[in-house]
Amino acid sequence: MDDTDGEMVERSRAGDPAAFVELFWHHGPAVHAYLARRTGRQDADELLSDVWLRAFRSRSNYDHQVADARPWLYGIARNVLRAHWRRRQRSYRPSAEVAISDPWEDADDRIDAAAQRMALQRGLAALSEDEREVLLLVVWEHLTPAEVALALAIPQGTARSRLHRARTLFRGAFEIPTITSSRSWSKEA
């Protein structure tokens, strides 16, 4: 079926159980990946069902004008993570070590993680919790700043501002050599 996510949620509310299953199959892997990148694969496996149970129970709160359910689902997943971290008596802020772990081995093929690990950890550690969450939703989950605003229940301007600050601070964690002007090069030549 070519229904939007909003239409699938609406069909589910109207009593069509297959509609919510369809939504699960469409977004389940992305929600699982979101959880796994923040807690590890084993915890993500356990938390995924809680996300979908909460989504099912709160589907009457879904804005059916929004075609993509990912921001709504990531917002629910974030709340599930917060509850998980509280239960584990961890601080809400995950360490940079957890935040950059990726549960799939092929992700290491995309970046040279071994060479960049320290810079990535410095970059993530330099960010506030809110800035890191916005950055990771954009980079890992491929959400737009507008979708991030929906997921985090913040104004779009706030999401854009946090993303800009996060990118700026994150770049600063990487030691980028400054290039001298071409004039100084020509004098040396």
Per the CB < 8 A criterion, the answer to whether 65 and 3 are in contact is: no
Per the CB < 8 A criterion, the answer to whether 32 and 44 are in contact is: yes
Question: What pLDDT is stored for residue 187 in this prediction?
Answer: 44
Q: Where are the domains of the chain?
A: 1-92, 107-175
Cα(94)–Cα(88) distance, rounded to whole angstroms?
A: 12
Domain spanning 1-92 has what CATH number? 1.10.1740.10
Domain spanning 107-175 has what CATH number? 1.10.10.10
Question: What pLDDT is stored for residue 111 in this prediction?
Answer: 46
pLDDT values of the chain reduced to their tens digit, one per residue, 189 residues: 578 888 888 888 889 888 888 989 999 999 999 999 888 888 998 999 999 999 999 988 888 888 889 999 999 999 999 899 888 875 445 544 444 444 445 544 554 555 567 777 778 888 899 999 999 899 888 899 999 999 999 999 999 999 999 988 877 776 554 444 444 444 443
